[in-house]
Copies of this chain bind each other. A is one copy, B any other.
Amino acid sequence: MARTTTRQAGAPGSYQRVVQKYGGTSVADPDRFRAVAERIKRARETYSELAVVVSAMSGETNRLLGLAGELSANPPRRELDVLLASGEQVSVALLTIALADIGVSAVSLLGDQVRITTDSSFGRARIQSIDVSRVEEVFAEGAVAVVAGFQGVDARHNITTLGRGGSDTSAVALAAALNADVCEIYTDVSGVFTTDPRVCPDAVKLDRISYDEMLELAGVGAKVLQIRSVECASRYKVRVLVRSSFSDEEGTYVVPEEQIMEEVLVSGVAFERDEAKVTVHGLPDSPGLAASVFGPLADAGLVIDMIVQTATVGEDRRTDITFTVGSKDLNEAVSIINVVADRVGALGVMQSGRVAKVSVVGLGMRNHAGVAARMFQVLADEGINIQMISTSEIKISVIVDGELVDKAVKALHAAFISAETGAAAEVQ
């Protein structure tokens, strides 16, 4: 069951229209801008129509947030977006200047100029439409379109941003709108790994991965691609290549499942350290209960991850609901939930800010039983207590003590990936 797959459609010479995206570390300083410009110049030899999406220079977003933080503990979200969008504006201008300097004709375009229209959720806006006519004009002039990632405008011309890592989504959405042959995501890692090599030195790079697997991996903490960018790629069947801007090493293709020739049982072990857990205890069970709990959280724009509801027990028909949120949202979530709990007559609210999520992901799970049982046994053998469990078709996630993440990841990687063939045989 080899994970390596052939790459029949991978030769760049066959592409005409390509979107490339360069992250903040790829444009951290003038030298790196020059390196990116040279890479784009080479790409122009094979790609006749090229749009490049750029992030803010590494550190710039934090510098700007630092300035805002000195002025207010709670800056208005609309203004934060105006502030942060300047980072990508600087990047597209500098990259276009670097390109001009080596004779590559290019035109910078901001979110408003491309016309990347989003909703009005400042700080986490979602793209609603992209008008590619301006980009196609640039193509028609024979120039490279250098597009600001991360930003858009709402219907009233307010500047919006897509949230951290939003430039990936900008790139994939633009590739979809342009019907590009491939969307190349240049980053500071050389591809998608079976798990984080910093935690587990045995981690290996995947040649290909399906959208669904990538989605589960991205969603649980493999921070190579923003989850929304993968959703977008999946929806529009955008072929994505993740690779390093610091080397010419081959990267990882994120592709439709039908292009994955052999399914593996577990393609990756992912984790999310900064999780927090909230339990609403003793809720009177009734239709609409979950909606009454999660509606207010959604209204506040909080992203809820795992949700578990226990069976209703006892004569008074009470139940518990536990969910996880990112640690940074814990306080806001708890203050909202306290109000909800009062209103619906719950018995109490409990919280824990020191938990983590560990997941195993693989298309092969759909056809093989026993992965969950083996996962729980591996953790038990390591003495790691499981606090919550959640499963999907191709993923099993558990919540464990925040201190035990590394130990859990190493054990699961060893069991499912490093010893892959043996492990697969064992659970069949």
Contact = CB atoms under 8 A, between A and B. Distances in A.
A90 B83 contact: yes
Contacts of A73: 101
A79 B105 CA distance: 12
Interface in A33-88: 33-34, 64, 67-68, 70-76, 78-80, 82-83, 85-87
Contacts of A71: 30, 33-34, 94, 97-98, 101
B83 A86 contact: no
Interface string A10-35: 00000000000000000000100110
Main secondary structure on chain A at its contact with chain B? helix
A90 B108 CA distance: 19
A113 interface: yes
Contacts of A78: 107-108
A94 B100 contact: no
A83 B72 contact: no
Contacts of A34: 71
B110 A97 contact: no
Contacts of A90: 64, 67, 83, 86
A200 B71 CA distance: 39
A108 B94 contact: no
A34 B93 CA distance: 30
Interface in A86-121: 86-87, 89-90, 92-94, 96-98, 100-101, 107-108, 110, 112-113
A61 to B, nearest CB: 12
A157 interface: yes
A97 B112 contact: no
Nearest to A108: B82
Given A67-B94, A70-B30, A80-B97, A85 B75 contact: no
Contacts of A67: 30, 90, 94
A89 B85 contact: yes
A269 to B, nearest CB: 40
Given A79-B93, A79-B108, A157-B112, A72 B85 contact: no
A71 to B, nearest CB: 4
The winner among A30, A33, A76, A78 for most chain B CB atoms within 10 A is: A76
A70 B71 CA distance: 31
8 contacts: A30-B67, A68-B94, A71-B97, A75-B101, A79-B93, A82-B96, A83-B94, A113-B157
